[in-house]
Amino acid sequence: MKTAIITGASSGLGREFVRQVGDVFPEIEQYWLIARRADRLEELAAALPDKTVACLPLDLCDTMSFMAIQQKLAEEQPEVALLVNNAGCGYLGNIGEMETAAQTRMIDLNLRALTAITNMTVPYMVSGSRILNVSSIASFCPNPRMTVYSASKAYVSAFTIGAAEELREKGITVTAVCPGPMRTEFLDLGNIIGNSKMFETLPYCDQVQVAGGALRAARAGRTIYTPRLFYKFYRVLAKLTPVKLMVKFAKT
Ligand SMILES: NC(=O)c1ccc[n+]([C@@H]2O[C@H](COP(=O)([O-])OP(=O)(O)OC[C@H]3O[C@@H](n4cnc5c(N)ncnc54)[C@H](OP(=O)(O)O)[C@@H]3O)[C@@H](O)[C@H]2O)c1
């Protein structure tokens, strides 16, 4: 059965991916929704009566969750037409002053889980399958006070470009979406609201539009998709400017 696997489906951008995936990939019959909050996933599933939906309440920072996904893939042998690696977190704080557990959680979720799930899922993909990774404008230049987060998203974008080249011969495309700030739970959880001049100044992206644009970019097989002209310009600027100069203006 043609299947979409969407991580971080319980809120924010992930929930929008679930709501809109049928518009862009109408041929997909089954969704696997992954996040920790089962009640949120069940609520979403109830709103999709014409699809087969499996809710997988898993903590992707726990490596046991990878075994659960691997086992479900082996048992059900789905054709994974779309993988959306969306689950992510980002905490504001200075190195040496914030909780170590918060720092390592960003690495576990944003890098390790994304890498593991991609690796486990590719064997169930065919030519025409798509991978969509959620990166960020933070991947364009290191952001002091969110150094670990921006480095984690630099990994996501670099992984995407490498994987796109590697999987090209299999006919599998890999896309990274790089949104600017969005008004989701991410801001509260990351201690960002009220604590960052940068986040107060930057133009916001709308997660409904970002999800639709990213799904269409994945369908088209684009490698990097940056919503909003302002951030497309920022991406070019960050490419052209020496990073040691750029980083002085990129503090969050
Ligand atoms: N909001 C922004 O300003 C912004 C900007 C650029 C990029 N992004 C990226 O966009 C993506 C989505 O974030 P969002 O803004 O939609 O934030 P969000 O509303 O906080 O959503 C994060 C999602 O990840 C899930 N998640 C968190 N920890 C998890 C864990 N340990 N195991 C499994 N799932 C987990 C959450 O579900 P549970 O809590 O139920 O587990 C939730 O569904 C992230 O990759 C983020 O880095 C966000």
Spell out, as residue ranges, where the chain has pLDDT lower than 70.
Answer: none
Q: What is the pLDDT of residue 202?
A: 97
Q: What is the pLDDT of residue 209?
A: 98
Atom of ligand 1 nearest to the CA of 87: 24
How many angstroms separate the alpha carbon of residue 245 from the centre of ligand 1? Answer: 30
How many angstroms separate the alpha carbon of residue 69 from the centre of ligand 1? Answer: 19
Domain 2-249 has CATH 3.30.420.40: no
Q: pLDDT tens digits, residue range 100-158?
A: 999 999 999 999 999 999 999 999 999 999 999 999 999 999 999 999 999 999 999 99
Ligand 1: which of 11, 63, 69 to mutate, judged by most atoms within 8 Å of the beta carbon? 11
Q: What is the pLDDT of residue 174?
A: 99
Please name the residues in contact with 87: beta carbons below 8 A apart, sequence gap of 6 or more: 7, 8, 14, 34, 35, 60, 109, 113, 114
Q: Is the dihedral of CA 12, 15, 20, 24 positive or negative?
A: positive
Among residues 36, 87, 84, 83, which one has the least CA distance to residue 58? 36
The whole-angstrom separation of Cα 250 and Cα 146 is: 10
Question: Using CA positions, which residue lies closest to atom 34 of ligand 1?
Answer: 35
**Element (H or E) spanning 239, and its range?**
helix 229-240
Q: What is the pLDDT of residue 110?
A: 98
Sheet containing strand 224-225, strands side by side = 52-57, 30-35, 2-7, 79-85, 130-134, 173-177, 224-225
Q: What is the pLDDT of residue 4?
A: 98
Buried b (16+ CB within 10 A) or exposed e, 48-86: eeeeebbbbbbebbeeebbeebeeebeeeebebbbbbbb
Atom of ligand 1 nearest to the CA of 153: 47
Q: What is the pLDDT of residue 133?
A: 99
With contact defined as beta carbons under 8 Å apart, do 179 and 206 qualify? no
What does the domain layout of the chain look like in residue ranges? 2-249
At 134, give phi and psi (nearest 5°): -95, 110
Number of residues that this document lists for the chain:
252
Single pTM value for the model: 0.98
Q: What is the pLDDT of residue 51?
A: 97
88 Cβ inside 6 Å of ligand 1: yes
Q: What is the pLDDT of residue 250?
A: 96
The alpha helices in 108-145, defined as continuous H runs, are 114-121
